Structure 1
Amino acid sequence: MIHIACNIDANFIQHCAVTLVSLFENNKRADICVHIVAPYLSEADQAILRNLAAPYGNEVCFYYPPKDLLQCFSIKKFGKRISMATYYRCMFSSILPESLEKVLYLDCDIVILGDISEFWNTDLSGCGAACVEDIGKDEDERYERLHYDKSCSYFNAGVLLINLDYWRKHKVDVQCVRYFETYPERIQFNDQDLLNVVLCKDKVFVPLKWNMQDGFYRYGIDKRVADWQAFREELLHPVILHYTNKKPWNYDSMHPLRNEYYKYLDMTPWKGKRPLSSVKERLKRYIKCVPYLLGLRKPKYVNLGK
């Protein structure tokens, strides 16, 4: 059994549905149980996710933690598109059943494009999580602000294979609360900063294919890697594709793999929904794209055709 965890609020049901369908479609041989942690979801929203899992023989469970569980935290950055639910992942060891030894946490701005069993079977002996380095790992400011050594690097918290037994033993949830209460001014990237501090020496890094972030597709990346052709293949064929910045459902998304989101959206109750369904949205996108089409601005994303 593969255990997946997502923390969402009601605004993210559509995107969670896309993430789950992509997971189920590309892992049909696996038995999967999805654990949804949320402040509240209606019966209708719950039914949508359960009905998507049922044809694959998979299960969805729901958890509604007490309202005061996150009272010590606050959103520091991206407040317009990130809710307090993001901090639930810091508290998984106290929210999820004690019978769970590990769980694969997934953000819901993700599509799964392949078999995750290899990642699920990563050896977590003696460490708190398996993760992928963040595109911003080379920024000195992060380590100076969070007061830990750069040699420990910095991971993206949108995909985490979590060793729940380790988290319980080392009280990771308590450590997160204490750090935020003691040094709130150090936290910028919300729970991601917290988890990087608490797990700075207790993690193992895995290849980019398990969390291919938006930044790795950005213009100029071909000049920063030693073997562009090999890296290009990784970009074209990730297992976990993570839309970390501009989302594919935004009218002005230019991500080269944005259509992967719509492929799986069309397997959900939102089939056919597109951001450019109105003349107004199409006009806004055209105006946004003209400077790039005319060569007046550098492209945002690398050309994967070369």
Structure 2
Amino acid sequence: MIHIACNIDHQFIQHCAVTLVSLFINNPGQVFCVHIVAGSLPQEDQDLLTKLAAPYGHTVRFYFPPADLLKNYSIKKFGQRISMATYYRCMFPSILPETVDKVLYLDCDIVIRGDISAFWNTDLEGYGVACIEDIGSQEKERYELLHYDPADSYFNAGVLLINLRYWRETHVDRQCETYFLTYPERIRFNDQDLLNVVLHAHKKFVPLTWNMQDGFYRTGIRERVNDWKAFREELLNPVILHYTNKKPWNYDSMHPLRAEYFVYLDKTPWKGWRPSHSVKTRIKRFFKLLPYALKWRKPKYINLDKAVG
């Protein structure tokens, strides 16, 4: 049994469906139990996800923590783009069943493109989490704000293989809450900052293929890479593709692997939906992309077809 956890609200039900379908399709033979944590979720959304998993032989469980569980938290950045549900990650020890010792947390702006068993089987003995370095890990300001050694680096919290037994033994949930109450001015990236503060010395980094973030496809990444040929192969073939910035469902997304999202969307009840269906949206996309097509503006993303050698 592989345990998966997602934090969502109604606005992300479509994208959660895409993440889960991509996981199920590309991991035949595995048995998944998906734990959906939400402040609230309409019954029709619960039924949709349950019915989505059933043909593949998987189960979905829902958790609706009490409203006051997050009373000491607040969103520090991104306005309405991020909901309070993001802090449920910090509170997993008190939300998920004690019989679950390990869980793979996934954001729902993700597409799974291959077998995750090697990641799931990562040895977590002595570690709180297995994770992937964040694209912003070289920003010195993060460590100055959070007051820990940059040598420990900084991970992205959108994909986390969590050692729940360790989290319970060390009271990670309590540590996060205490830090937020004590140093709210230090927090910029919400629960991601908190988890880095608490776990920076108790994490295991794994390869980028398990969380290939948007920023790794951006123009300028080549200057940060020693072996470009090998890195390009990772960009072309990530197992977990994470749309961390502009989302593929945004009409103006230019991500080179944007189409991957729609491959799996078409295997959900939203089959055929596209952000550019309306004439108005197509016109907006045309004018948004025109300066890049005419080379009036520098490309935001590298061209994977030409980025050879």
TM-score normalised by structure 1 residue count: 0.99
Aligned position for 2:11: 11
**What is the letter of the counterpart of residue 213 of structure 1?**
Q
Aligned position for 1:133: 133
Aligned position for 1:301: 301
User: Residue by residue, what CA displacement relative to the aligned partner does 1:183-228 show, whole Å, maximum 9, x if unpaired?
Assistant: 0000000100000000010100000000000000001212321121
Q: Percent identical across equivalent pairs?
A: 74
Aligned position for 2:264: 264
Map 1:110-189 to 2 at 5 A.
Answer: 110-189=110-189
Tell me the distance in 1 between the aligned counterparts of 2:54 and 2:167: 31
User: What SS is found at the alignment partner of 2:98?
Assistant: coil
Query: How far did 1:290 drift?
Result: 1.0
Structure 2: tracts of 5 or more residues without a match? none
Aligned position for 1:99: 99
Query: How far did 1:230 drift?
Result: 1.1
**What is the letter of the counterpart of residue 163 of structure 1?**
N
Aligned position for 2:22: 22
Structure 1: tracts of 5 or more residues without a match? none
Tell me the distance in 1 between the aligned counterparts of 2:238 and 2:85: 27
Query: Does residue 243 of structure 2 align to residue 243 of structure 1?
Result: yes
User: Residue by residue, what CA displacement relative to the aligned partner does 1:42-79 show, whole Å, maximum 9, x if unpaired?
Assistant: 11100110111001100000000000000100001112
Query: How far did 1:172 drift?
Result: 0.2
Tell me the distance in 1 between the aligned counterparts of 2:118 and 2:227: 24
Tell me the distance in 2 between the aligned counterparts of 1:260 and 1:293: 22
**What is the letter of the counterpart of residue 149 of structure 1?**
D
Tell me the distance in 1 between the aligned counterparts of 2:134 and 2:218: 14
User: Residue by residue, what CA displacement relative to the aligned partner does 1:100-150 show, whole Å, maximum 9, x if unpaired?
Assistant: 000000000000000000000000001100000000001000000000000
User: What SS is found at the alignment partner of 1:80?
Assistant: helix
Tell me the distance in 1 between the aligned counterparts of 2:259 and 2:305: 16
User: Residue by residue, what CA displacement relative to the aligned partner does 1:169-188 show, whole Å, maximum 9, x if unpaired?
Assistant: 00000000000000000000
Query: How far did 1:285 drift?
Result: 0.7
Tell me the distance in 2 between the aligned counterparts of 1:227 and 1:178: 42
**Alignment size in residue pairs:** 306
**What is the letter of the counterpart of residue 301 of structure 2?**
Y
Aligned position for 1:33: 33
Q: Which segments of structure 1 move beyond 3 Å, counting only runs of 4 or more?
A: none
Tell me the distance in 2 between the aligned counterparts of 1:226 and 1:275: 37
User: What SS is found at the alignment partner of 2:44?
Assistant: helix
User: What SS is found at the alignment partner of 1:253?
Assistant: coil
Cα RMSD of the aligned pairs, angstroms, is 0.6
Map 1:48-63 to 2 at 5 A.
Answer: 48-63=48-63
**What is the letter of the counterpart of residue 141 of structure 1?**
E
Tell me the distance in 2 between the aligned counterparts of 1:291 and 1:226: 31
